[in-house]
Amino acid sequence: MTRRQLLTKAGKWAVGLGLFFPLYSFIMKKRYRPPIQIQIKEALKPGQFLMEKEFALFQTTKGPLAVSRRCTHLGCIVNYHETGKIFLCPCHQSKFHWDGRYISGPAKKDLYRLKVRPLEGGKGFLVEIPRGKA
């Protein structure tokens, strides 16, 4: 390889790498986004539940319980089957109890529980979904 060829090659690499870093930094930067807060303006009695797109909200005697509907295997939305009180993942057939505890299938982990608190006055709930979990 002649000196000219070497310099040309080195120049190409320098331009390539010089552009790669700004591209990498631009793309890798994760902007801060607050957790998604969802207000449920509906009162639930113990034993009742509400099915939202991202979570299921159950009212128990011990208080409200919000279970994420994201399967802990690969993130599909699990469906609730009221007859057996189970969640079933339509993608790879993992099963969970109503409160998110793992039963069977490839997921191996319980469904995530989300932060939930009653709204002031007892007329509903505030559920918090952290970013990256929805």
CA distance 54 to 40: 13
Provide, rounded to whole angstroms, the least separation between the CB of residue 45 and another protein.
Answer: 23
Provide, rounded to whole angstroms, the least separation between the CB of residue 121 and another protein.
Answer: 31
Nearest to 101 by CA among 85, 116, 118, 115: 85
Binding site for another protein (CB under 8 A): 24, 27-28, 30, 33, 70, 73-77, 79-81, 88, 90-93, 105-106, 131-134
Provide, rounded to whole angstroms, the least separation between the CB of residue 134 and another protein.
Answer: 7
> What residue has token string 């002649």?
2
Contact 94, 107 (CB under 8 A): yes
CB nearer to another protein: give 63 or 90. 90
